Amino acid sequence: MTKPCFLGVDIGSLTVKAVLLDAGQRLLTRGVVPAGYGGQEAAEALVARLLRECGLTPDEIAYTVVTGYGRVRFATADEEVSEISCHARGAFHLCPAVRTVIDIGGQDSKAMRLDAQGRVVDFAMNDKCAAGTGRFLEVMAAALDVPIEQFGALALQSEHPVAISSTCTVFAESEAISHIARGVAKQDVAAGLHQAIASRVLGLAARVGLEAEVMLTGGVALNVGVVAALSRQSNQRITVPADPQTVGALGAALYAWHKGRR
């Protein structure tokens, strides 16, 4: 094997992420695609594409670690590792000063507290309710007839955010629609909804202890309104990595590097 590489795959409920590292832990390439049904076919196609981009063959993958919601479906992996462990390892690799990792995905959210060596001291998950997840934002953006890509920026335009008291996605949607019907500016409703998701996520983080430095990962980290609401409510600077969606896959690739180098 002349050019060994190490593969991390994160199969989420909505997207599949993959990262390839070389023998020196340097990033070769990474990618994100919709998961489709189950995620296995999307994962296999993504990995094949990334290998082609790097001029590599499957035989040159020294070790593969898979994580995420659909990890049991990726049969070609050498090992499965939990999402908590992979997100923590990926975040700590990107920023060794990080002590709290908040990951907001499409269907769940997670909070992790790390020690100075990057080990997970405590964690909490919200995987039973859409509130505090990317799905919450998708439902609310649709209710306000705003493209999801513009939802966060719209919230930042607000000068008088309205309070959204409901923690349930269904009731919060009804509350938002009622505000619109009463003539409340759309940006003020959007800001209230972003404050609501931030409150829900910070409540989760409080269960493990919110300590600086705080890193936000997952697709929702791309929403500037959520980042601003989290920072304002927590009185903390929120670090968002260059590609927040692939932090879990990076952590998986780092585990693969560790195991494959033995």
Residue indicated by tokens 């462990």:
85
Total length of the chain: 262
Tens digit of pLDDT for each residue in 20-79?
A: 999 999 999 999 999 888 788 999 999 999 999 999 999 999 999 999 887 877 888 999
What's the pLDDT tens digit per position in 146-202?
999 999 999 999 999 999 887 778 888 888 989 989 999 999 999 999 999 999 999
Is a pLDDT exceeding 60 seen at residue 2?
Answer: no
Flag whether pLDDT at 139 surpasses 60: yes
Q: Does domain 96-240 have CATH number 3.30.1280.10?
A: no
The two three-digit tokens of residue 98, written as one number: 């990080």
Report d(CA 220, CA 140) in Å as an integer: 14
Of 35, 33, 65, nearest to 50 (Cα)?
33
Predicted confidence (pLDDT) at residue 15 exceeds the cutoff of 80: yes
pLDDT at 1 over 50: no
Average of per-residue pLDDT across 102-114: 93
Query: 65: how many CB neighbours lie within 10 A of its CB?
Result: 29
Q: Both tokens of residue 113?
A: 């507290």
Q: What is the mean pLDDT of residues 105-110?
A: 88
User: Which secondary structure element, helix H or strand E, spans residue 249, and what is its range?
Assistant: helix 247-260
Mean pLDDT of 97-121: 95
β-strands 15-21, 27-34: how paired? Answer: antiparallel
| pLDDT score recorded for residue 108 | 87
Domain ranges of the chain: 5-88+246-260, 96-240
Note whether 5-88+246-260 and 96-240 share their fold.
yes
What pLDDT is recorded for position 85?
Answer: 96
Tokens linked to 239:
């670090």
Domain 5-88+246-260 has CATH 3.40.50.11900: no
pLDDT attached to residue 262: 65
Q: What percentage of the chain has pLDDT greater than the value 70?
A: 98
pLDDT digits (tens, 9 = 90+) for 146-157: 999 999 999 999
Instruction: For residues 228-235, give the mean pLDDT.
Output: 96
- What pLDDT is attached to residue 28? 96
Cα gap 20→13, rounded to integer Å: 21
Mean pLDDT for the chain overall: 92
